[in-house]
Amino acid sequence: MTGPPAVWAEAAAVAVSRRTLWSGVDLDIAAGEFVAVLGPNGVGKSTLVKVLLGSLPLSAGRVRVLGREPGGASQEIGYLPQRRSFDPSLRVRGVDVVRLGLDGDRWGAPIPGLARVSAAARRASARVAEVIDLVGASAYADRPIGRLSGGEQQRLLIAQALVRRPRLLILDEPLDSLDLPNQSSVAALIARISREEGVTVLMVAHDVNPILPYLDRVVYIAAGGAVAGTPAEVITGPILSRLYGTAIEVLATSDGRLVVIGEPEAPAHHTDRHSGHPHADPL
């Protein structure tokens, strides 16, 4: 691959409310790669996304996104935030949600007699239809988004993130709340998009298994730091034990899934959700 890395960081650190979440993070993600960001709840995965989008500064180190300072390449980034949901009474159609991904001034409203504006609007409509087709949502894109299933909504939101032809797609837990068959099909869809549109994909994930067959690289974050590499390099007992400073075992099931045993919670958080004891977690 030529050109600058899609994402590059050196000795990066971030703090929220004066608490350092992670530090000493080095990243070098090449254009076109499919990368997962993994780690337990509260460790700072979405915070890494905020840093890459330019909405939160590093407390130390350097980061570049598409060769520029974070925030400098926002026109070339498609972003799907974590935990979206639509009110069932929302009447806006799926196709309109996808269209929101385009800048209003770029697609414009069709004004009779203004051929250039109409041509831009036609191009916009064609691109909207193209990405809806790409994500396989044509059959329901004209229905109100609030009435669609979680998986259908997710496909339309991926289409929205894609509509401006981004070079980098940042997806924060896009498989969250999908059932297993939908996790597999949305994972396969994102991998196909990455290949066919030449997009670098950075996906935050809680469970690596649905995307494991497609991943070029994983970034595993722990309280403190991170390790990056191929899944085979990173998701091992010794590497994760060193990262977390506690004994962690990685088991491979007969169907190729990975199960990480002993992954700790992020410190002093989420005690409402878990007992706080080390637990077995499908990774």
Q: Which residues bind ligand ATP (CB under 6 A)?
A: 16-17, 21, 39, 41-47, 82, 269
CB of 267 to ligand ATP, least distance (A): 9
Cα–Cα distance measured from residue 122 to residue 133, given in angstroms and rounded to the nearest whole number: 16
Cα–Cα distance measured from residue 147 to residue 201, given in angstroms and rounded to the nearest whole number: 28
Nearer to ligand ATP, 43 or 228 (CB): 43
CB of 176 to Mg ion, least distance (A): 9
Q: How far is CA 116 from the centre of its chain?
A: 36
Nearer to ligand ATP, 135 or 205 (CB): 205
Task: Note whether 46 binds Mg ion by CB under 5 A.
Answer: yes
Which of Mg ion, ligand ATP, none has residue 16 at its interface (CB below 5 to 8 Å by kind)?
ligand ATP
CB of 140 to Mg ion, least distance (A): 28
CB of 219 to ligand ATP, least distance (A): 12
Nearer to ligand ATP, 85 or 253 (CB): 85
Stretch that binds Mg ion, among 75-83, 131-139, 232-240, 260-268 (CB under 5 A): 75-83
Q: Could you give the strand order of the β-sheet that contains 217-221, starting from the edge strand earlier in sequence?
A: 77-80, 168-172, 200-204, 34-38, 217-221, 226-229
Which of ligand ATP, Mg ion, none has residue 118 at its interface (CB below 5 to 8 Å by kind)?
none
Nearer to Mg ion, 75 or 82 (CB): 82
Contacts of 222-229 spanning 24+ positions with Cβ under 8 A: 222/22, 222/39, 222/40, 222/43, 223/21, 223/22, 223/43, 223/266, 223/267, 224/22, 224/23, 224/24, 225/22, 225/23, 225/24, 225/25, 226/22, 226/24, 226/25, 226/27, 226/39, 228/26, 228/27, 228/28
Cα–Cα distance measured from residue 244 to residue 248, given in angstroms and rounded to the nearest whole number: 8
Task: Note whether 177 binds Mg ion by CB under 5 A.
Answer: no
CB of 85 to ligand ATP, least distance (A): 15
Contacting positions for Mg ion (CB under 5 A): 45-46, 82
